[in-house]
């Protein structure tokens, strides 16, 4: 995969029941890189995380003639545990279902999708950016404050309380 975004016509993709599978390197996802720990093997602060994102995008049309996309993602990331501030591996296995609708950017938020379905609305586009879609979904799926499931190593705490520098003067006051 190159460092360039790649695009599909999502309606044509769904009509033809096409399947797209592959891997993106984490180095190709600039916004995601900001949330990850860079390889500790390379001390250069400009180094990029190593690893990849496996994806599968399946287009299909349902019995009602609606165009759908199914996206499956699997990746292993390295982030920072917010409890102990050490490296923390994070495995994500994600599945998304999209209904392709012919709506404008303004209407996509207000368009109602049947709440019994686990489907997100995706705007019909002849130039849908697959890399941006994958990166967006992973960023939104990441925990805001990741922590280890088991006990962390040494926990770093900071209470914010500081000793009062005038406490020594308290003994000089006689009641």
**Across 26-35, 60-69, 126-135, 157-166, least confident range:** 157-166
Closest listed residue to residue 59, CA positions, set 127, 11, 26? 11
Find out whether 5 and 129 touch, Cβ atoms under 8 Å: yes
Q: How far apart are CA 48 and CA 141, in angstroms?
A: 21
Q: How far apart are CA 18 and CA 12, in angstroms?
A: 9
In a domain, 168, yes or no: no
In a domain, 161, yes or no: no
Q: How far apart are CA 175 and CA 159, in angstroms?
A: 33
In a domain, 170, yes or no: no
In a domain, 164, yes or no: no
In a domain, 166, yes or no: no
pLDDT band at 38 (very low <50, low <70, confident <90, very high): low
| pLDDT greater than 70 at residue 5 | no
Structural domains in the chain (count): 1
| pLDDT tens-digit readout, 121-164 | 999 999 999 999 999 999 999 998 888 887 776 555 556 667 77
In a domain, 167, yes or no: no
Of the segments 93-102, 106-115, 156-165, which one has the largest average pLDDT value? 93-102
């Amino acid at each position: 995969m190159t460092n360039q975004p790649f695009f599909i016509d999502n309606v044509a993709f769904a009509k033809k029941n096409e399947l797209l599978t592959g891997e993106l390197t984490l180095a190709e996802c600039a916004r995601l890189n900001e949330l990850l720990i860079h390889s500790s093997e390379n001390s250069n602060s400009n180094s990029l995380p190593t690893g990849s994102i496996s994806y599968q995008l399946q287009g299909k049309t349902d019995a009602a003639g609606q165009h759908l996309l199914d996206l499956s993602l699997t990746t292993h990331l390295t982030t920072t545990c917010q409890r102990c501030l050490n490296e923390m591996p994070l495995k994500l296995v994600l599945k998304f279902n999209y209904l392709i609708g012919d709506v404008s950017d303004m209407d996509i938020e207000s368009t109602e999708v049947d709440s019994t379905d686990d489907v997100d609305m995706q705007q019909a586009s002849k130039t849908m950016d697959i890399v941006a879609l994958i990166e967006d979904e992973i960023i939104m799926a990441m925990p805001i404050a990741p922590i280890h499931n088991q006990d962390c190593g040494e926990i770093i705490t900071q209470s914010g309380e500081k000793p009062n520098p005038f406490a020594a003067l308290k003994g000089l006051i006689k009641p």
